[in-house]
Structure 1
Amino acid sequence: MTLYPDLRSPDTYSTKLTIERQDSNRLVQQLTFGVGESVRTLTSSARIDGSILHFQDSSLPVQVVLLPDGASSNCPLTIKSGHSFVLEVGWLIEPNLRQRMIRRYSDRGSWVSLTLVQEQRVNN
């Protein structure tokens, strides 16, 4: 569910996140989201450095810090003037259920949206 500062109706849609480990120090993830004809898939890869995932494929590289007990934090390494950015925290509710809160900011630093994601792990 995504909320907006102008109080318009929230957006709600299903997502699918697939994470594959390529080797001991690299992973690839695919995130599919949206509805109908506006379904999008984003693919990104990260270098694994202990409990930190380094995503460096965009103009603002980010790191995801994996914390104890299933918590996580996602933030840019630096915030550059004139670039939009995302801050995220995640936490494990049950062994196969986690939530993430994602806050997006515009290139001017103003709040754009707040998204709550609930993820259920599905083993293939």
Structure 2
Amino acid sequence: MDLHLSDHLAQKLAIRRNHGTREIVYKYIRTINKANTIRFIDKLGCINWSIVCVKNAKNSYTRFHVLLTNTFKECFPERKVKLKNRKKEQAFNDPQILKLKNQMEAAHTIAM
């Protein structure tokens, strides 16, 4: 690659991006809105909490956790959302191209 910069000739920088195969990444999110929150509070009010009150603290906590978690999952279901990798969209993420870009900018600054 010839990195010679001339002040007499116009400079053109062409960058070819190799897209290749991209791995699609998903994440799971929960929609928490007013309607779901009201539904969650109503469901919590309908639970028979007397089954949580037992003498063994570990069993009591386990029952409480299961009830709360199941109610939460029921009222706030998960949705699968595709993520975009914005870093892959950048043209100057290759070290060699970045170096060439910096040299072009430096030459432009010196010329001014």
Q: What TM-score do the two structures reach when normalised by structure 1?
A: 0.19
More helix per residue: 2
Structure having the higher strand fraction is 1
Higher relative contact order (CA 8 A, sep 6+): 2
TM-score (norm 2): 0.20
